[in-house]
C-alpha cells in the first residue's frame, strides 16, 4: 500500500514524464517529425466491469486511437497490440464528475470592505449584450474558454475521474457548461460535449449589484429572467413602445434552456424544492447538486423526479469532549452528523438517481474514504458505481461516449486492485487510451514468515507491514531486530546484527519477491563477502487490499428522523380527530360572546356544534375541559418567523415581484414555539426596507408539514408596503443614501409612479392584443413584468396591501393615494399613530394592526400610546394586535389584554383583536377566527382566563389536528435529552468524529425583524438596529 | 424634557409638545389612613380588610380598624389591592429617550473598563418615559450604565424627582461587569473559528482578572499612602475591597456563571448575579452558594434551540424550588413598565404568586441594601405604596389608582394619557 500522500507525488511525476501521446488533432501543423506511436493496446486477464452490474472475468480490453475497440470475453489478444497483463486487477469505466469548474477561468474576486464602506451599486455596467443583472452569465459558453489544466486534473485523476462537466461556478445563471476529458491535451481534443447544461444557483456570487440580496430575490430574478428569455425569442428585432428591442446575448442563450436543462446547486433540502418549483414553472429540466440533507424530506425530493449530484463532504462532528461543550451543540446537527453519510443510501432506496462529485470536499483525498463510508451506510456498490459512471454520463450528456466500456466508447477507464468500494487501490487511470500510472501494477509483498538458508544456517525473517516494513531475523532461540529498513516496489533492504557463518557484525541484506511465496536475496557479511540465498514464505502474505476488505457494516442510527428533522419535530402530521370538548368556557370571538359550561363538537376538521350538555357521537374523542377556556386559534397579522435567508429584498425601492411564499421555512422551531403560545395562523410579511416590498404569505402553523403544505391557499394574495424611517434609510450614513426616496414626500411620488407605470403597462398589453397579425410581425410584445403585474393585482383589488406605517402624515398620504388609484388600503400594520387619524381610516375602510404598547425605540414612534387600539376601535377601525416578533408571537393573548389594562376595552373584544379581527384583515374570516359551526377547528385550550398573566396553553389544534399538547411536550423533552445523550456518546466513541467538513451544517438564521437588512449572499448586514421595527 | 427637545430639534426636526406639567409630589402633609384594603405586605403575607396608616412618609401602623388620627386623610380602599412600590432592577431609564436617535442616548461610555461612570449622573428626571413607567406601579429603578467589560456604577433612584439628587435613594450601589463571553458561537454571522473564539474569550477573561488585580493594588497602595496620584477608575472600585460596594455580574451562560462564582469567591466580593438565563441549569449550586440572582429574562425565547419553549418563563419557578435567593428584572427602559406582568407570567409557569411579587419588591430592595426602608409594607418602612383596583401582576387586573413614594402622592399622568386624552377629542 502506498499512502495517498505518496500517490499524489507519484502522479505528478507520471504526468510530467508521460510524452504527449500522438495528438489526435487534425488541424495542428506538425513541427519536426510526425509522431506515429502505436496506441493499440490489449489489457489482458482482467476483470472488466463494463457498466454497473455487468462483470466479465478474465477478459481482454482492446483499445486503439483513444477508444475502446472491443472487449474480448474469451480473453484473446489481437495481433500487434501491446499486451498488459492485468491478472488480479479490475477495470472500471472512467468516472465522470458532472459538476466541476475544471479547465475554466476562475471569477475575479472583488474585495469588499466592511459594512457601509462601499456605495451601493444598483445598476450594472452593460457590455457585450450582457444581462441587466451581474449575477446572470447565461451568455457564457464555457467551451470558449476551456483549456486543459494538468495540475487541476490531478485531484480528479487520482480518484479515478476521467471526465468532468465544467463551468465557472459563479452567480445565478452561470452559463453553459462544457464536458471535458481530463486528458492533458489541447482543448480541441478533450471536448466531449461543447454545450452542456446551464449551471445555476441561488447565490449571486461575485456580483456587486445590490439586487438580489435575499433568497426570495434570487428566485424572483430567475423567474423574471426565464420569462424574459421567452419574451426575447418573440421580441428581438421588433419595435417596442420605447424603441427597438435591445440585443441581449444572455437572454438569447437562455432561449433553448427547456431542451438544454440546468444543473442547479442547492444548499439544503428546502432550497431544492424551491428551485424545482421555480424552474418547473418554465419547464426547465433540472438536476440538482445536492446537500446530503435530502434524506430529511425524501418524499418531497422524490416527487420532483429530478436526478441529483451529491457532494461527499460529510460534516465533522461538533466538538463535545469538554464538560460543557454540549451547551453549544444542537440536536439537529448531531443528527445530521450521524445520518449525512447515509443520504446516498436513502436516495438509492427511494429510487432516486444520483451521481457523486468531488465538489465541496475540503481535500480530494477524502473522496474514497467518504464514498466507502456511504457504502458502509448501506449504499449498494452497483449504485455507487453508477453514480460515478452511467448517471453522471447522462447528466453531462455524454452517455454515447463515456460512462461505460463498450466498442466505440472513449478509452477512459480505471485499473484497480481489490474492490474499490470497500478497500481497493487505483493503480492507473487511462484517459483517451493513455495511461496515468498512480501505483505500480504489482508491488512485492514481504509480510509473513520467510524461511531461508543463509550461510548453511536455517533462518527466518519475521516481517510485517506493507508500505513500512519492520521485523526481525530469527535464528533458533536468538533473534535480532532489522534496522534501516527501506523498500521500493520490488526490493527490501535492511541491516541486521547477527552472527552467521561465524561472522558477527552488521549484515546488509536485500530481498526480492520471485513468486507469490518465493523470495531471493543477497546478504553482505561483515567481511564484505556476498552471499546469495533464496527463501520461501511459510506463513502470512495475504495482501492487505484483498484481506482487509471491510464489509458493509450494518449501520444503526441512534437519532430519530422527524418532520422537521430538528428538536421537537414530529413523526408526521398529527391525525385529524373528531372531538367532543366538554364543559369549557368558550370564547367564541363571535356574536355569541363567552359561553360558560359549553360543549363543542368537532367533525371532519370543522366546528360542528356548540352548545350545552351535548351527547357524544360514537367514536369521538372526548376532551374534558372543565375549568378550562377554549378560544379560537390566535392569528398574527405581522410575523417574520419561518422565513429562510432574508426577510427583506431591500435592495431596490419597489420589489413587488419577490414572494415570501417562495422562502417559507418549515424547519423553524419558532413555528412550534408559537403553537405553544396558541398561535395557529400567521401572515409572513416581507420586511420594511422599501416602500413597496414583497408579496406576503399566510400560513397555518402546521409543524411537521412541508413549506407548501403550510401555506393557507384560501387566503387571498397580499403584499407589504412600508413608509417612514426604514424606507427612507434614516439610519444610513448620508453619503450612502443615494436611493430614491429619502423623504416621506418621495415615498408618495415613488408609489404614484409605480402605479402609473403599472396602468400604462396594462394599456400596452391590451393594445398589443388588438394588433393585426402583420402589425405583430413588426411589434414586440410587451415584456411581461412581474413587478408591475403585482401592482396591477393591487389596483384590481385581487391583492391586498398591509402597510408598515407609524406617523399620521404618512397614513393619510397612503389613504389618499389609494383613493386616487381607486383601491382600498386593507391594513396599516404597526400604525402607532393610527389613533390620530382613526376617523379618516375608518371612513376609507382601512384596518389597523398595532403593537400593544411599544414606543420610544425610534423617533417615529415617540407619539405611540398603548391606547391606540382602543381609540382606533372606538372610531370604527377594524383593529388587531400583531407581534412582529418571534417572542411576542407566542403571547399575543396578554398583548391584547393591554387594551383592557390601559383603556378598559371589553375582554371579549380584546380577544377578537388576535382572532376574528386579524382573520378579517387577512380576508379569511369565513374559515377561521372564531368558534362557529362550519369554521375550521383551529382552537386553543387554556388553563385559565385567556387574557390573564396566569394563562398557559394546554393544547393547540389546527383543522382538528393536535399540533401542540403540553403533556406531549414534556415527553418530547425527555426523549430529546435521551437522544442527545446517545448521540453525544456516539460522537465520543468515534475516533474519527472530528474528520469531515467543519462547515457541514445548516447555518442558524438571524431572528428577522422588519428592518433587518441583510445581504444573505455576502453575509453582511447593511442596517439593523436593536428594538427597531 | 427641555434638554431632550433641544437635542432632538438639533438632530432632526422640531417637535412640538407642550412642556409637561407633571410635577413631583409634595412631601406628605397629613397622616393618611388606608382603610379596609387587601394588603400585599410581601413580608407578612396578604392581609385582607386591613388598614394602613402612614405619616411623614413612613408607615406607622398596619392593622384592623386602626384609629383615625387627628387631621388624617382617610382613603377607603375596600376591594382594592395595596402593594409596596415595584423596584425595577437593571434598567437604563433616564439614560435613553429614543433608542435610535443617538443624541438622546447617554448609556454607553467609550472604553472597555469604565467603572468611574455613574448611572445617576446622566439621568434625565424629565424623560417622557419615566411617568409611563410609574403608571404601572414602578416606584424605583436601578440605573445601570451599559458598555463593554466593566460598564460603570449603578444607582437606585425613586422615579418622581426634580433632579437626580432628590431622586437618589442610594447612589453608586455597585460596579457592573459584563462577564466575558464563553463557549463557541455557531451563528451564521460568526466568522471566527472556534480556536479564534476561544482565544478571544480567554483574553477578555484575562483582562478582567488584570483589572481586579490593578484595582486591588491601587486599593492597597492607597491604604499605605503610596499612591502616585488619583486614578478615577480604581477609586470607583475601592468599595469592592472593603465591602461597601457590590459587584453586579451580568452573566447568562452556565460557564460564565461558574467562572463568576469562582472568581468572586477568590476575591471575596459582595456580589449579585444579573441576567442568569442559565441559572436553572445550576439552581442547586446557586442555592448552596447563597448567590443572589436577578433573573433578567422573564419574557423571552429559549436561549438555545433545543431548550423547552417555556424555559425562560419557567426558570423563576425552578429557582424558587431549589431555594435560590432571586429577584426578577426586565432590563430596558420604555418596556420596564411590563415588569409586573413579567412576574405574573412566571406564575403561569409554576412560580408562587407571593414569591413573584417579592421578586419585584422586597428582593430587589434587599439586593440593593435598602430593605430597611423599601420593598414591603411594614411599620417603619417608607410609605412607598401603590393602590390598584385589581391584581398588579395581571393585565386584566392591574389598574393603579394611586402611587405614593415616601408618602408623596405621585401624579400618574404621562405623555400617553395626555395624547390619549387629546385625541379622544378629535372629531
The enclosing domain of A242 has a CATH number of 3.20.20.140
Closest Cα in chain A, distance from residue B241 (Å): 32
In the predicted structure, residue A547 carries a pLDDT above the cut 80? no
Greater pLDDT, A475 or A928: A928
Q: Does B1 touch chain A (CB under 8 A)?
A: no
The grid coordinates of residue B193 equal 473559528
Interface test with A, best of B16, B100, B185, B339 (most A CBs within 10 A): B100
Same domain, A820 and A941: no
Reported as a pLDDT band with limits 50, 70 and 90, residue A114 is low
Domain that holds residue A454: 448-542
pTM of the model: 0.93
- The CA-atom distances, in angstroms, between A958 and each of A541, A607, A939, B157, B252 are 68, 11, 7, 49, 36
Residue recorded with cell 424552474:
A279
The grid coordinates of residue A482 equal 532489522
* A850 contacts in chain B (CB < 8 Å): none
**Minimal Cβ distance to A973: which of B305, B308, B423:** B308
Mean pLDDT, to the nearest integer, of A165-184? Answer: 98
The answer to whether the Cβ–Cβ distance between A887 and B100 falls below 8 Å is: no
* B308 contacts in chain A (CB < 8 Å): 969, 973
The answer to whether the Cβ–Cβ distance between A672 and B301 falls below 8 Å is: no
The phi-psi region of residue A662 (left if phi > 0; otherwise alpha if psi is between -120 and 50; otherwise beta) is: alpha
Closest Cα in chain A, distance from residue B245 (Å): 32
In the predicted structure, residue B8 carries a pLDDT above the cut 60? no
**Minimal Cβ distance to A871: which of B101, B397, B424:** B424
For chain A, what percent of residues have pLDDT higher than 70? 95
Predicted pLDDT at A998: 79
Q: Does A362 touch chain B (CB under 8 A)?
A: no
Let me know if residue A608 belongs to a domain: yes
Cβ atoms of B205 and B181 closer than 8 Å? no
Reported as a pLDDT band with limits 50, 70 and 90, residue A1001 is confident
Query: Exposed, middle or buried, A613 (CB in 10 Å: 0-12/13-18/19+)?
Result: exposed
Tens digit of each residue's pLDDT (9 = 90 or more) over A875-887: 999 999 999 999 9
Q: How many CA atoms lie within 13 A of A936 on its CB side?
A: 25
Q: What ipTM score was computed for the predicted complex, to two decimals?
A: 0.94
> Domain ranges in chain B?
23-85+376-410, 86-374
Cβ atoms of A263 and A177 closer than 8 Å? yes
Same domain, A535 and A679: no
In the predicted structure, residue A1009 carries a pLDDT above the cut 90? no
The answer to whether the Cβ–Cβ distance between B99 and A858 falls below 8 Å is: yes
Predicted pLDDT at A587: 98
The grid coordinates of residue A796 equal 384590481
The answer to whether the Cβ–Cβ distance between A862 and B15 falls below 8 Å is: yes
The grid coordinates of residue B138 equal 414602578
The answer to whether the Cβ–Cβ distance between A859 and B184 falls below 8 Å is: no
Q: Does A1025 touch chain B (CB under 8 A)?
A: yes
In the predicted structure, residue A9 carries a pLDDT above the cut 60? no
Closest Cα to residue A75, out of A113, A37, A47?
A47
Predicted pLDDT at A1020: 67
Predicted pLDDT at A863: 97
Same domain, A394 and A466: no
Reported as a pLDDT band with limits 50, 70 and 90, residue B3 is very low
Closest Cα to residue A251, out of A194, A173, A143, A193?
A173
**What are the helix (H) ranges across A770-891?**
773-778, 786-795, 808-820, 838-844, 868-874
Q: Does B349 touch chain A (CB under 8 A)?
A: yes
Tens digit of each residue's pLDDT (9 = 90 or more) over B245-301: 999 999 999 999 999 999 999 999 999 999 999 999 999 999 999 999 999 999 999
Choice among A556-565, A638-647, B184-193, B286-295 with the minimum mean pLDDT: B184-193
Query: Exposed, middle or buried, B34 (CB in 10 Å: 0-12/13-18/19+)?
Result: buried
Whole-angstrom distance, CA of residue B128 vs CA of residue B30 = 30
Whole-angstrom distance, CA of residue A633 vs CA of residue A391 = 49
Reported as a pLDDT band with limits 50, 70 and 90, residue A468 is confident
Tens digit of each residue's pLDDT (9 = 90 or more) over B372-389: 999 999 999 999 999 999
Q: List, in sequence order, every residue forming a beta bridge with A664; answer none if it has no partner.
A: A643
For chain A, what percent of residues have pLDDT higher than 90? 83
In the predicted structure, residue A1026 carries a pLDDT above the cut 60? no
Predicted pLDDT at A541: 63
- The CA-atom distances, in angstroms, between A820 and each of A744, A760, A795, A797, A847 are 18, 16, 11, 14, 18
Query: H or E stretch including A68?
Result: strand A67-72
Mean pLDDT, to the nearest integer, of A837-842? Answer: 98
The answer to whether the Cβ–Cβ distance between B8 and A859 falls below 8 Å is: yes
Predicted pLDDT at B17: 42
Predicted pLDDT at A445: 86
Closest Cα in chain B, distance from residue A987 (Å): 18
Mean pLDDT, to the nearest integer, of A303-309? Answer: 98
Report the b/e string of A676-712 with b at 16+ CB within 10 A.
Answer: bbbbbbbbbbbbbbbbbbbbbbbbbbbbbbbbeebbb
Q: Does A737 touch chain B (CB under 8 A)?
A: no
Q: Does A673 touch chain B (CB under 8 A)?
A: yes
Predicted pLDDT at B19: 37
Q: Does B252 touch chain A (CB under 8 A)?
A: no
Residues in B 301-340 with any Cβ partner in A closer than 8 A: 301-302, 304-306, 308-310, 333-335, 337-338
Render A525-566 in DSSP notation, one character per residue. Answer: -TTS-EEEEEEEEEE----HHHHTPPP-------S---BSSS
| CATH classification of the domain holding A587 | 2.30.40.10
| CATH classification of the domain holding A517 | 2.40.128
Cβ atoms of B343 and B359 closer than 8 Å? yes
The answer to whether the Cβ–Cβ distance between B423 and A835 falls below 8 Å is: yes
The answer to whether the Cβ–Cβ distance between B334 and A907 falls below 8 Å is: no
In the predicted structure, residue A428 carries a pLDDT above the cut 90? yes
CB pairs under 8 A between A and B: 165
Mean pLDDT, to the nearest integer, of A537-564? Answer: 71
Q: Domain spanning B23-85+376-410: which superfamily?
A: Urease, subunit C, domain 1 (2.30.40.10)
Mode of pairing for the β-strands spanning A621-624 and A879-881 = unpaired
Same domain, A530 and A598: no
Q: Does B9 touch chain A (CB under 8 A)?
A: no
The CATH class given to the B86-374 domain equals alpha beta
Same domain, A141 and A277: yes
Reported as a pLDDT band with limits 50, 70 and 90, residue A286 is very high
Let me know if residue A807 belongs to a domain: yes
Same domain, A387 and A239: yes
* A855 contacts in chain B (CB < 8 Å): 334, 416
Whole-angstrom distance, CA of residue A51 vs CA of residue A67 = 16
Residues 6+ apart with CB under 8 A from A502: none
Same domain, A580 and A720: no
Predicted pLDDT at A896: 98
Mean pLDDT, to the nearest integer, of A591-602? Answer: 98
Reported as a pLDDT band with limits 50, 70 and 90, residue A453 is confident
Mean pLDDT, to the nearest integer, of A898-911? Answer: 98
Q: List, in sequence order, every residue forming a beta bridge with A166; answer none if it has no partner.
A: A100, A178
Let me know if residue A20 belongs to a domain: no
Predicted pLDDT at A19: 42
Let me know if residue A714 belongs to a domain: yes
In the predicted structure, residue A965 carries a pLDDT above the cut 50? yes
Let me know if residue A42 belongs to a domain: no
Let me know if residue A348 belongs to a domain: yes
Same domain, A674 and A780: yes
Mean pLDDT, to the nearest integer, of A6-32? Answer: 57
Same domain, A672 and A617: no
Q: Does B129 touch chain A (CB under 8 A)?
A: yes
Predicted pLDDT at A489: 83
The grid coordinates of residue A351 equal 429510487
Closest Cα in chain B, distance from residue A535 (Å): 55
Same domain, A326 and A457: no
Let me know if residue A63 belongs to a domain: no
Tens digit of each residue's pLDDT (9 = 90 or more) over A653-680: 999 999 999 999 999 999 999 999 999 9
The answer to whether the Cβ–Cβ distance between A331 and B302 falls below 8 Å is: no
In the predicted structure, residue A553 carries a pLDDT above the cut 80? no
Average pLDDT, chain A: 93
Q: How would you list the strands of the sheet with A198-201, edge to edge? A: A173-176, A198-201, A262-265, A286-289, A308-311, A354-357
In the predicted structure, residue A194 carries a pLDDT above the cut 50? yes
Cβ atoms of A569 and A562 closer than 8 Å? yes
In the predicted structure, residue A792 carries a pLDDT above the cut 50? yes
Cβ atoms of A393 and A404 closer than 8 Å? yes
The answer to whether the Cβ–Cβ distance between B305 and A865 falls below 8 Å is: no
Mean pLDDT, to the nearest integer, of A525-533? Answer: 88
- Counting the structural domains of chain A, the total is 4
Same domain, A647 and A793: yes
The answer to whether the Cβ–Cβ distance between A1004 and B186 falls below 8 Å is: yes
The answer to whether the Cβ–Cβ distance between A853 and B338 falls below 8 Å is: yes
Q: Does A676 touch chain B (CB under 8 A)?
A: yes
Same domain, A911 and A952: no
Choice among A96-100, A261-265, A730-734, A857-861 with the minimum mean pLDDT: A730-734
Predicted pLDDT at A112: 62
Predicted pLDDT at A732: 84
The answer to whether the Cβ–Cβ distance between B184 and A328 falls below 8 Å is: yes
Query: H or E stretch including A939?
Result: strand A939-942
**Torsion angle of C-alpha atoms A725, A727, A730, A736, degrees rounded to 10:** 180
Tens digit of each residue's pLDDT (9 = 90 or more) over B85-110: 999 999 999 999 999 999 999 999 99
Let me know if residue A248 belongs to a domain: yes
Mean pLDDT, to the nearest integer, of A76-102? Answer: 96
Predicted pLDDT at B7: 37
Q: 3-state SS of A683-739?
A: EECCCCCCCEEEECEEEECCCCCCHHHHECCCCCCEEEEECCCCCCCCCCCHHHCCC
* A897 contacts in chain B (CB < 8 Å): 395-396
Amino acid at each position: 500500500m502506498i499512502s495517498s500522500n505518496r500517490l499524489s507525488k507519484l502522479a505528478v511525476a507520471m504526468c510530467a514524464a508521460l510524452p504527449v501521446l500522438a495528438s489526435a488533432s487534425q488541424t495542428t501543423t506538425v513541427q519536426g517529425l510526425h509522431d506515429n506511436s502505436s496506441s493499440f493496446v490489449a489489457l489482458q486477464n482482467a476483470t472488466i466491469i463494463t457498466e454497473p452490474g455487468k462483470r466479465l472475468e478474465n477478459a481482454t480490453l482492446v483499445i486503439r486511437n483513444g477508444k475502446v475497440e472491443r472487449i474480448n470475453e474469451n480473453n484473446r489478444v489481437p495481433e500487434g497490440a501491446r499486451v498488459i497483463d492485468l491478472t488480479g486487477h479490475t477495470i472500471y469505466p472512467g468516472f465522470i464528475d458532472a459538476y466541476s469548474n475544471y479547465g475554466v477561468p476562475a471569477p475575479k474576486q472583488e474585495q469588499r470592505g466592511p459594512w457601509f464602506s462601499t456605495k451601493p451599486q444598483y445598476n450594472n455596467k452593460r457590455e457585450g449584450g450582457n444581462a441587466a443583472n451581474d449575477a446572470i452569465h447565461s451568455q457564457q459558453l464555457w467551451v470558449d474558454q476551456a483549456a486543459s489544466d494538468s495540475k487541476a486534473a490531478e485531484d480528479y485523476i487520482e480518484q479515478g475521474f476521467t471526465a468532468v462537466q465544467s463551468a465557472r461556478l459563479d452567480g445565478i445563471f452561470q452559463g453553459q457548461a462544457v464536458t471535458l476529458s481530463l486528458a492533458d491535451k489541447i482543448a480541441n481534443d478533450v471536448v466531449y460535449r461543447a454545450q452542456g447544461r446551464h449551471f445555476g444557483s441561488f447565490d449571486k456570487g461575485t456580483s456587486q449589484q445590490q439586487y438580489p440580496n435575499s433568497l426570495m430575490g434570487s428566485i424572483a430574478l430567475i423567474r423574471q429572467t426565464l420569462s424574459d428569455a421567452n419574451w426575447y425569442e418573440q421580441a428581438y428585432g421588433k419595435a417596442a413602445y420605447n424603441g427597438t428591442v435591445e440585443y441581449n446575448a444572455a437572454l438569447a442563450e437562455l432561449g433553448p434552456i427547456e431542451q438544454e436543462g440546468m444543473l442547479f446547486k442547492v444548499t439544503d433540502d428546502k432550497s431544492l424544492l424551491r428551485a424545482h418549483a421555480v424552474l418547473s414553472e418554465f419547464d426547465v429540466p433540472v438536476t440538482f447538486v445536492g446537500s446530503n440533507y435530502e434524506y430529511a424530506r425524501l418524499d418531497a425530493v422524490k416527487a420532483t423526479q429530478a436526478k441529483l449530484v451529491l457532494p461527499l463532504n460529510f460534516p465533522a462532528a461538533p466538538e463535545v469532549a469538554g464538560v460543557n461543550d454540549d451547551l453549544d451543540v444542537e440536536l439537529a446537527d448531531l443528527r445530521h452528523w450521524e445520518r449525512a453519510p447515509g443520504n446516498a443510501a436513502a436516495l438509492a432506496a427511494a429510487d432516486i438517481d444520483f451521481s457523486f462529485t468531488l465538489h465541496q470536499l475540503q481535500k480530494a483525498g477524502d473522496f474514497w474514504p467518504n464514498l466507502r463510508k456511504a457504502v458502509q451506510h448501506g449504499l449498494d456498490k452497483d449504485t455507487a458505481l453508477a453514480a460515478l459512471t452511467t448517471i453522471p454520463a447522462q447528466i453531462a450528456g455524454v452517455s454515447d461516449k463515456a460512462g461505460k466500456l463498450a466498442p466505440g466508447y472513449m478509452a477512459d477507464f480505471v485499473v484497480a486492485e481489490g474492490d474499490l468500494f470497500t478497500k481497493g487501490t487505483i493503480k492507473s487511470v487511462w484517459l483517451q487510451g493513455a495511461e496515468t500510472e498512480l501505483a505500480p501494477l504489482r508491488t512485492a509483498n514481504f509480510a509473513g514468515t520467510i524461511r531461508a538458508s543463509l550461510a548453511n544456517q536455517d533462518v527466518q525473517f519475521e516481517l510485517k507491514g506493507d508500505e513500512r516494513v519492520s521485523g526481525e531475523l530469527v535464528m533458533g532461540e536468538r533473534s535480532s531486530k532489522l534496522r534501516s529498513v527501506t523498500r521500493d516496489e520490488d526490493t527490501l533492504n535492511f541491516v541486521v546484527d547477527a552472527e552467521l557463518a561465524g561472522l558477527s557484525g552488521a549484515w546488509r541484506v536485500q530481498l526480492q519477491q520471485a513468486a507469490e511465496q518465493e523470495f531471493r536475496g543477497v546478504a553482505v557479511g561483515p567481511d564484505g563477502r556476498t552471499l546469495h540465498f533464496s527463501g520461501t514464505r511459510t506463513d502470512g502474505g495475504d495482501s492487505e487490499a484483498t484481506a482487509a476488505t471491510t464489509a458493509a457494516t450494518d449501520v444503526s442510527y441512534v437519532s430519530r428522523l422527524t418532520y422537521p428533522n430538528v428538536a421537537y419535530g414530529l413523526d408526521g402530521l398529527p391525525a385529524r380527530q373528531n372531538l367532543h370538548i366538554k364543559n369549557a368556557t368558550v370564547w367564541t370571538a363571535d356574536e355569541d360572546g363567552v359561553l360558560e359550561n359549553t360543549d363543542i363538537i368537532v367533525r371532519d376538521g370543522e366546528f360542528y356544534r356548540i352548545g350545552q350538555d351535548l351527547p357524544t357521537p360514537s367514536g369521538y374523542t372526548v376532551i374534558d375541559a372543565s375549568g378550562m377556556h377554549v378560544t379560537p386559534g390566535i392569528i398574527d397579522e405581522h410575523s417574520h418567523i419561518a422565513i429562510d435567508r432574508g426577510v427583506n429584498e431591500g435592495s431596490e425601492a419597489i420589489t413587488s415581484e419577490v414572494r415570501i411564499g417562495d422562502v417559507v421555512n418549515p424547519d423553524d422551531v419558532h413555528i412550534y414555539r408559537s403553537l405553544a403560545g396558541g398561535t395557529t395562523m400567521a401572515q409572513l410579511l416581507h420586511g420594511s426596507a422599501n416602500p413597496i416590498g414583497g408579496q406576503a404569505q399566510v400560513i397555518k402553523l402546521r409543524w411537521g408539514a412541508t413549506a407548501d403544505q403550510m401555506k393557507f391557499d384560501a387566503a387571498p394574495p397580499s403584499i407589504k408596503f412600508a413608509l417612514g424611517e426604514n424606507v427612507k434609510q434614516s439610519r444610513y450614513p448620508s453619503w450612502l443614501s443615494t436611493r430614491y426616496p429619502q423623504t416621506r414626500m418621495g415615498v408618495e411620488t415613488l408609489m404614484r409612479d409605480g402605479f402609473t407605470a403599472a396602468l400604462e403597462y396594462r394599456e400596452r398589453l391590451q393594445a398589443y392584443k388588438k394588433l393585426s397579425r402583420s402589425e405583430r410581425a413588426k411589434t414586440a410584445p410587451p415584456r411581461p413584468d412581474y413587478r408591475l403585474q403585482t401592482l396591477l393585482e393591487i389596483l384590481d383589488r385581487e391583492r391586498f396591501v398591509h402597510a408598515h406605517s407609524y406617523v399620521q402624515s404618512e397614513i393619510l398620504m397612503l389613504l389618499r393615494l389609494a383613493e386616487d388609484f381607486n383601491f382600498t388600503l386593507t391594513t396599516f400594520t404597526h400604525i402607532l399613530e393610527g389613533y390620530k387619524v382613526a376617523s379618516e381610516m375608518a371612513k376609507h375602510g382601512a384596518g389597523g394592526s398595532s403593537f400593544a404598547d411599544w414606543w420610544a425605540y425610534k423617533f417615529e414612534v415617540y407619539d405611540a400610546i398603548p391606547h391606540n387600539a382602543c381609540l382606533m376601535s372606538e372610531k370604527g377601525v377594524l383593529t388587531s394586535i400583531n407581534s412582529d416578533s418571534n417572542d411576542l408571537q407566542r403571547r399575543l393573548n396578554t398583548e391584547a389584554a393591554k387594551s383592557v389594562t390601559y383603556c378598559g376595552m371589553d375582554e371579549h373584544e380584546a380577544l377578537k383583536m388576535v382572532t376574528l379581527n386579524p382573520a378579517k384583515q387577512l380576508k379569511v374570516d369565513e374559515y377561521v377566527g372564531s368558534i362557529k359551526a362550519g369554521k375550521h377547528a383551529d382552537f386553543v385550550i387554556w388553563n385559565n382566563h385567556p387574557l390573564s398573566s396566569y394563562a398557559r396553553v394546554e393544547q393547540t389544534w389546527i383543522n382538528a389536528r393536535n399540533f401542540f399538547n403540553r403533556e406531549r411536550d414534556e415527553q418530547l423533552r425527555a426523549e430529546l435529552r435521551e437522544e442527545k445523550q446517545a448521540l453525544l456518546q456516539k460522537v465520543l466513541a468515534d475516533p474519527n468524529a472530528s474528520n469531515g467538513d467543519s462547515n457541514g451544517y445548516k447555518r442558524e438564521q438571524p431572528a428577522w425583524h422588519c428592518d433587518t437588512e441583510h445581504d444573505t449572499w455576502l453575509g453582511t448586514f447593511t442596517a439593523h438596529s436593536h428594538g427597531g421595527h | 424634557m427641555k434638554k431632550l427637545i433641544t437635542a432632538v430639534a438639533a438632530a432632526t426636526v422640531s417637535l412640538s409638545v407642550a412642556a409637561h406639567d407633571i410635577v413631583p409630589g409634595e412631601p406628605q402633609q397629613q397622616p393618611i389612613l388606608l382603610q379596609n384594603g387587601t394588603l400585599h405586605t410581601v413580608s407578612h403575607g396578604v392581609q385582607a380588610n386591613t388598614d394602613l396608616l402612614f405619616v411623614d412618609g413612613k408607615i406607622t401602623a398596619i392593622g384592623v380598624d386602626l384609629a383615625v388620627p387627628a387631621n388624617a386623610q382617610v382613603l377607603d380602599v375596600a376591594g382594592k389591592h395595596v402593594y409596596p412600590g415595584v423596584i425595577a432592577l437593571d434598567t437604563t431609564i433616564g439614560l435613553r429617550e429614543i433608542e435610535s436617535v443617538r443624541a438622546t442616548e447617554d448609556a454607553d461610555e467609550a472604553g472597555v473598563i469604565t467603572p468611574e461612570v455613574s448611572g445617576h449622573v446622566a439621568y434625565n428626571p424629565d424623560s417622557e418615559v419615566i411617568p409611563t413607567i410609574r403608571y404601572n406601579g414602578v416606584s424605583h429603578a436601578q440605573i445601570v450604565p451599559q458598555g463593554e467589560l466593566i460598564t460603570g456604577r449603578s444607582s437606585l433612584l425613586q422615579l418622581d424627582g426634580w433632579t437626580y439628587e432628590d431622586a437618589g435613594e442610594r447612589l453608586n450601589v455597585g460596579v457592573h461587569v459584563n462577564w466575558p463571553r464563553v463557549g463557541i458561537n455557531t451563528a451564521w454571522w460568526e466568522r471566527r473559528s472556534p480556536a479564534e473564539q476561544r482565544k478571544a474569550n480567554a483574553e477578555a477573561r484575562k483582562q478582567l482578572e488584570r483589572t481586579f488585580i490593578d484595582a486591588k493594588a491601587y486599593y492597597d497602595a492607597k491604604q499605605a499612602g503610596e499612591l502616585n496620584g488619583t486614578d478615577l477608575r480604581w477609586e470607583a472600585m475601592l468599595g469592592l475591597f472593603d465591602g461597601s460596594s457590590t459587584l453586579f455580574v451580568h452573566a447568562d451562560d452556565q460557564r460564565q456563571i461558574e467562572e463568576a462564582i469562582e472568581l468572586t469567591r477568590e476575591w471575596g466580593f459582595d456580589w449579585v448575579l444579573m441576567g442568569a438565563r442559565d441559572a436553572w441549569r445550576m439552581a442547586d449550586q446557586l442555592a448552596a452558594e447563597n448567590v443572589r440572582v436577578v433573573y433578567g429574562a422573564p419574557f423571552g425565547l429559549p436561549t438555545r434551540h433545543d431548550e423547552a419553549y417555556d424555559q425562560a418563563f419557567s426558570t423563576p419557578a425552578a429557582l424558587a424550588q431549589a431555594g435560590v435567593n432571586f429577584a426578577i428584572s426586565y432590563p430596558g427602559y420604555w418596556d420596564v413598565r411590563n415588569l409586573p406582568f413579567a412576574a405574573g407570567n412566571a406564575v403561569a409557569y409554576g412560580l408562587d404568586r407571593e414569591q413573584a411579587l417579592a421578586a419585584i419588591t422586597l428582593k430587589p430592595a434587599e439586593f440593593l441594601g435598602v430593605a430597611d426602608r423599601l420593598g414591603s409594607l411594614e411599620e417603619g418602612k417608607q410609605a412607598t405604596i401603590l393602590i390598584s383596583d385589581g391584581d398588579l401582576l395581571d393585565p386584566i387586573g392591574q389598574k393603579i389608582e394611586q402611587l405614593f413614594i415616601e408618602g408623596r402622592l405621585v401624579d400618574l399622568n404621562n405623555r400617553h394619557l395626555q395624547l390619549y386624552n387629546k385625541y379622544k377629542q378629535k372629531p
